[in-house]
Amino acid sequence: MPADLTEVLVSLVYTLLSKKNGISAEFLRSRVDRYQNIDTETFQRYFARDKGELERLGIPIETIQREDTNGRNTTFYRILPEKYRLDEIEFSAPEAAAIAMAASYWGEDALGNAAQRALARLGVESTELEHSVFEPRVSSSEPAFGQLLEAITEHFAVTFTYANPVGEQSVRVLEPWGLGQRFGHWYVTGWDLDRQAQRIFRLSRILNEVKRAANEFTHERPSDFSMREALNRMKLDTGTSSASIELREGRGISLRTRAEEIVESEEGWDRLTVRFDNVEDMAKDVAALGNAARVLEPASLKRAASSLVERALEAHRTAVPTYELRKPKKSAGRIPETVKVARALDMVSYIHDHGGATFAELSEHFDLDRRTLQSELERLSLCGLPGGLHDELLDVIIVGDDVNILNAEHLNHKVRLNLAEAFSLMVALELMSAVPGVGDDSVVESARSKIEAATGHFSNLSNAITARFVASEDPERWSQLYDAIENHRVTRLKYISGGRDALTERVIWPVRLKEQTGRIYLQAWCTSANAPRVFRMDRVRSLTVLDEHFADDAAELAKVPTDLYSPLANADDVVVKFGARLRPLLPEFTPTKVSTKQSDGSVIAEISSAGDQALRDLVTSHAGHFEVVAPPEKRREIKEWLEDASKMHAESGNQPS
């Protein structure tokens, strides 16, 4: 039976902490089941992999050279207790509340889980986002995220294939210095070895797995480097470019309401002149109209819109993946080994700090059912000095509902925060500092300084990371709406209905603003429809706050959904595929069934439809990462719609600009 890797790694930590003079490779090969009966090369590969897993947990293994008892120069390994233990940090009640609230900004992804583990280790109780004027979410869903963050702190070069805004691809080699979020996107910056200059890359444009490059790391991060300043130099210009676009008569109301000029073109078509800020966002607006829109100029917008359609079409031309839908579980997917090891070590220190614990307390604290908890405790009872005697193993004592652990003095201290945990809290607190109405800025800064001091082993991490919400870029723009929400003022909107492709007027009771993946939404009770509604703020053409106030009717406001995806009433179910980078968005769609066992990390889910146009928007804007799978006729309909759009863009590309 193969050795349980969690048991091996916990025992490795126990052993390397317990022997201050270190443990030789020969000892490990003779005592650890996983390392026995294998050749030297395989052992070295296994041990290097296990060391890497522990170092990702923030547990550094020190290598020392000295003579063994036979006088031979030998390599020994050890973990120094002072580099393992988390220093005690005392937070004031306001600081603890700020940290807990900031951590809740993360969605249900890897960094969201890391933030919750960090809270538990710091002794801060987690919390859910409370009802407030502005409720933001941040996500680390880009597949390149983890490798780039590790490269920044470990100082190694990486290589990847990158697509520019119009889809042109190139292979890049980068020595990364910093990682940050702005304008709703994550960016990495560093020294581009091909261009021999500092460059910034958007993570969503990285097309393949980020790999460690063979190149030596030659350009260290400058001492005065600041990721915040690097992103500050990026400008989101307003209306700096102009496009000439033809639309079928009566279509594309969103573009028509933004047009500077509309003239008749050939029969059944109108030609628009529209100013825009960002070629990618404009391309999404055009692509979502299918064969009802064609770009005349600029060429960059033509290529960008065509690229979105072609990538979506390519996904729908591939064979439908095999899948089996089941009701979603709370924790779907394989738990990474580092998470299981961290949980095991945290469980030992938690039981020690509390002088023992009950099954109920452990189940609640670690969010485990009794059966899984029993299995975790049984595994811990096998951990300790490999091949050791009874008093050299963890002694897990269970009496009725009470649990205690003896022989665990080397693991009784909390392990220091790892990279993901430190990053998640540092970024969340920086985001919080710019959120309106969250409290005292000095409290947030004080909490961040204490966490920064506890994570000093990550080479000045605070200068290498940054993030800000889109809403914090221009707070004055939202102040009128904040006031309407706080003071319960009735508001009138002129709003583009995507499903109907029409300009509508709505009278609403605004409840909250939410931000997710760079897009801002307004959740409200719509008196026009006498129902809750979610409005995309980029589709609002005018907003007027009226003198009329609405009552703070808890019963009515409770009906306003917290989810951003709004399926149609009595909507049909569709089966769709969420690419790996879209997995964090899955909960917003409230899937009724899921299939998570896809080799590419994607998830196939059954959701209620929000209408044909909503599906088309998702298909084109995510360009191959969101795919309609079933029913077959709906997939065929989407594919044919994309083929028609592809032909239209091809014909447009042949026309003179």
Burial environment of residue 461 by CB neighbours within 10 A (0 to 12, 13 to 18, 19 or more): buried
**Preceding peptide of 298 cis, ω within 30°:** yes
Confidence of residue 1 (pLDDT cuts 50, 70, 90): very low
Assign domain 475-557 one CATH number from 2.60.40, 3.40.50, 2.30.30, 2.40.160.
2.30.30
pTM of structure: 0.80
Which pLDDT tens digit goes with each residue over 38-88?
898 999 999 999 988 888 888 889 999 888 888 888 889 999 998 898 888
- Report the Cα–Cα distance between both ends of the chain, in Å, rounded: 68
Q: Give yes or no for residue 238 having a pLDDT over 60.
A: no
Domain boundaries 5-84, corresponding CATH code: 1.10.10
Q: Which residue has the higher pLDDT, 515 or 332?
A: 515
Q: pLDDT band for position 291 (50/70/90)?
A: very high
Domain 337-411, second-level architecture: Orthogonal Bundle (1.10)
Q: Which of 172, 112, 171 is nearest to 138 (CA)?
A: 112
Q: What is the pLDDT of residues 378-417, one digit of tens each?
A: 999 989 888 767 777 899 999 999 999 998 888 999 888 8
- 130 backbone dihedrals φ, ψ, rounded to 5°: -80, 160
Query: What is the arithmetic mean of pLDDT over 154-161?
Result: 93
Q: What pLDDT does 440 receive?
A: 67
Alpha carbon 244 to its chain's center: 36
Q: Is the Cα dihedral 108, 112, 113, 119 positive or negative?
A: negative
**What average pLDDT does this structure show over 160-170?**
85
**DSSP assignments along 71-116, one per residue:** S-EEEEEE--HHHHBPPP----HHHHHHHHHHHTTB-SSHHHHHHH
User: pLDDT category, 654, cuts 50, 70, 90?
Assistant: low
Contacts of 105 (CB under 8 A, 6+ apart): 129, 136, 137, 138, 428, 431, 432
Only one residue has tokens 């020595």, namely 175
Delimit the domains of the chain by residue range.
5-84, 93-140+416-472, 145-221, 337-411, 475-557
* Minimum mean pLDDT range among 158-162, 401-405, 483-487: 483-487
Q: Which residue has the tokens 């444009």?
A: 205
Residue 11 has pLDDT above 50, yes or no: yes
pLDDT of 144 reads: 87
CA distance 312 to 50: 40
Mean pLDDT score, 278-303 = 92
Percent of the chain residues past pLDDT 70, beyond the cut = 93
Q: Is residue 439 very low, low, confident or very high in pLDDT (cuts 50, 70, 90)?
A: low
Q: Judge whether residue 239 has pLDDT over 70.
A: no
Q: Do domains 145-221 and 337-411 have the same CATH topology?
A: no
Question: Tell me: the pLDDT tens digits for 129-146?
Answer: 666 788 888 887 778 888
Question: Is the model's pLDDT at 557 over the cut of 90?
Answer: no
Q: Considering the domain 145-221 in this protein, what is its CATH number?
A: 2.30.30
- Alpha helix (H) residue ranges in 465-559: 475-486, 554-557
Q: How many helices (H) and strands (E) does the chain have?
A: 21, 26
Dihedral (Cα; 57, 63, 69, 72), 10-degree rounding: 140
Over 60: is that where the pLDDT of 331 sits? no
Number of neighbouring beta carbons within 10 Å of residue 132: 17
**DSSP summary character for residue 331:** S
Mean pLDDT computed over 200-205 = 91
- Residues 213 and 158: beta-carbon distance below 8 Å: yes
The more confident residue out of 609 and 390 is: 609
pLDDT, residue 334, reads 62
Average pLDDT score, the chain: 87
Whether residue 529 is predicted with pLDDT greater than 70 in this model: the reply is yes
What pLDDT, in 10s, does the model give residues 85-126?
888 889 999 999 889 989 988 877 778 888 988 898 888 887
- For 76, 108, 220, 586, the CA distances from 137, given in Å and listed in that order, are 46, 10, 33, 14
